């Protein structure tokens, strides 16, 4: 049996209803459904187009029946739709995708489409069913919520920047006032040294802000992940040696595709730097890299003091200090480094996670998906 053949459907009639009414119930359900229902045969030709579909897509059934189902979809989602149709026909699998579609007034609507298999009386697949619903209100609500969260985050960030800059400027003012009051050459020298330290802190803060707001991590040159790792290890050897920390590298088979060199180097350098700083003299930082699911996984493990449990969920927040969760504030290592690293990895489609045991050390895991060369 195919979708092009006329079939009758028998259902159990409700009490008091006639057989004809029961038989026509499926037609009434399809016609009265609030979601767009579109059925296509195994060749992808539209055989059913309910009134909700006509309203949603602005086309009557007479204009659509007999045409390829892909023709009603924007070009940008036809590939995803074709894959959904193929899987539904071959495997009976269902899938969902979303896209924007202009209504009759030219306003774009956000639509969600579910693709599933249609089976005949013998259990054979005879076509596919697409059910589309308008999710514009939900989409707009999520956008408003996202904007509200963004503004809240910007407010927190501005407050944190103001706090740190105020501390820096306050330190400079106190030092200069002391030197002016004593009027001694040695006091001037000390004041200049401390002022230089404070301005260097301010410069690091500004560089962090610029990196945080920089934008596209894909900018700049490309390099193989193995070459990026070599660069990170070479750049970190001196600071590790100065801290009395050994730096060990274990690399398994790695893919040959390339990554944005500057962005990925920034991520790994920041994590390795933190791992070295967290480790006491005689400690060890281990970098392990290997291919995983077509992508790459990089683990950076240290033998430092670890992170308290209440810090794990906040470690990637701008200006978060581990000592906020322990002994009190200290601006020495406050900054945006891990926030920048987190943002870069997410922008590249990857993930960054941390696991830690107090007094035993932490392990940061960076996963990057396959990238075109």
CATH code at position 201: 1.10.287
Q: Which domain holds residue 103?
A: 19-134
Same domain, yes or no: 253 and 321: yes
**Structural tokens at position 68:** 């390829």
Write the DSSP symbol of residue 315: T
**Structural tokens at position 291:** 């291919």
CA atoms within 13 A of residue 364's CA, in its CB half-sphere: 26
Boundary residue ending a domain (213, 230, 264): 213
Boundary residue ending a domain (134, 159, 193): 134
Same domain, yes or no: 50 and 157: no
Same domain, yes or no: 56 and 121: yes
Q: Report d(CA 42, CA 128) in Å as an integer.
A: 7
Containing 84, the helix (H) or strand (E) segment is: helix 75-91
User: Tell me, what CATH number does 365's domain have?
Assistant: 3.30.565.10
Same domain, yes or no: 241 and 349: yes
Is 178 part of a structural domain of the chain?
A: yes
Same domain, yes or no: 242 and 354: yes
Same domain, yes or no: 243 and 348: yes
- Residue from 319, 323, 297 nearest 310 by CA: 323
Is 38 part of a structural domain of the chain?
A: yes
Is 295 part of a structural domain of the chain?
A: yes
User: Tell me, what CATH number does 125's domain have?
Assistant: 3.30.450.20
Is 6 part of a structural domain of the chain?
A: no
Q: pLDDT truncated to tens, each residue of the chain (373 aa)?
A: 455 443 333 333 433 444 555 667 777 888 888 889 999 999 989 999 999 999 888 889 899 999 998 888 888 778 878 888 888 888 888 888 888 888 777 788 888 888 888 888 888 888 989 999 999 898 888 888 877 776 776 676 677 777 778 888 888 898 888 888 887 888 888 889 988 988 887 887 777 677 666 655 656 688 999 999 999 999 999 999 999 999 999 998 888 888 888 889 889 998 999 999 989 999 999 999 999 988 999 999 999 888 888 788 888 877 776 655 444 333 344 567 788 888 888 888 899 999 998 778 999 999 999 876 5
How many domains does the structure of the chain reveal? 3
Same domain, yes or no: 221 and 339: yes
Is 13 part of a structural domain of the chain?
A: no
Q: Are strands 125-134 and 36-41 parallel, antiparallel or unpaired?
A: antiparallel
Same domain, yes or no: 79 and 172: no
What integer pLDDT is reported at residue 348 of this predicted model?
85
Same domain, yes or no: 108 and 238: no
Boundary residue ending a domain (105, 134, 163): 134
Containing 37, the helix (H) or strand (E) segment is: strand 36-41
Same domain, yes or no: 77 and 176: no
Same domain, yes or no: 243 and 290: yes
Is 34 part of a structural domain of the chain?
A: yes
Is 98 part of a structural domain of the chain?
A: yes
Is 12 part of a structural domain of the chain?
A: no
Q: Report d(CA 257, CA 372) in Å as an integer.
A: 7
Following DSSP, what letter does each residue of 320-373 receive, concatenated?
A: --GGGGTT----TT-SSHHHHHHHHHHHTT-EEEEEEETTTEEEEEEEE-----
Same domain, yes or no: 256 and 316: yes
Contact present, 100 and 108 (Cβ < 8 Å): yes
């Amino acid at each position: 049996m195919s979708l092009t053949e006329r079939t009758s459907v028998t259902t159990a009639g409700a009490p008091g209803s006639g057989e004809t009414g029961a038989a026509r119930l499926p037609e009434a359900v399809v016609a009265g459904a609030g979601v767009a229902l579109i059925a296509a045969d195994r060749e992808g030709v539209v055989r059913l187009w309910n009134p909700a579909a006509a309203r949603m897509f602005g086309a009557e059934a007479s204009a659509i029946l007999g045409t390829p189902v892909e023709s009603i979809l924007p070009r940008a989602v036809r590939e995803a739709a074709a894959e959904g149709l193929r899987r539904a026909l071959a495997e009976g699998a269902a899938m969902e995708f979303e896209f924007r579609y202009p209504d009759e007034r030219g306003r774009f609507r956000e639509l969600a489409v579910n693709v599933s298999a249609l089976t005949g009386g013998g259990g054979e697949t005879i076509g596919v069913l697409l059910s589309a619903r308008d999710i514009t209100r939900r989409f707009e609500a999520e956008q408003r919520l996202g904007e509200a969260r963004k503004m809240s985050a910007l407010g927190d960030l501005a407050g944190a920047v103001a706090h740190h800059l105020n501390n820096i400027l306050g330190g400079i003012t106190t030092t200069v006032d002391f030197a002016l009051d004593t009027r001694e050459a040695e006091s001037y020298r000390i004041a200049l040294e401390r002022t230089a330290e404070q301005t260097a802190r301010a410069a690091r803060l500004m560089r962090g802000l610029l990196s945080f707001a920089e934008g596209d991590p894909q900018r700049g040159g490309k390099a193989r992940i193995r070459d990026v790792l070599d660069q990170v290890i070479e750049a970190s050897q001196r600071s590790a040696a100065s801290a009395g920390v050994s730096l060990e590298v274990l690399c398994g088979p790695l893919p040959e595709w390339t990554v944005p060199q500057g962005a990925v180097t920034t991520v790994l350098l920041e994590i390795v730097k933190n791992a070295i700083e967290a480790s006491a003299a005689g400690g060890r930082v281990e970098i392990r890299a290997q291919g995983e699911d077509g992508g790459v996984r990089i683990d950076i493990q240290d033998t430092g003091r670890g992170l308290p449990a209440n810090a794990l969920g906040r470690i990637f927040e701008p200006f978060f200090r581990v000592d906020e969760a322990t002994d009190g504030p200290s601006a020495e290592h406050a900054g945006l480094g891990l926030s920048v690293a987190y943002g870069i990895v997410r922008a590249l489609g990857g993930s960054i996670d941390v696991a830690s045991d107090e007094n035993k050390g932490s392990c940061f895991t960076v996963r990057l998906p396959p990238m075109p060369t």
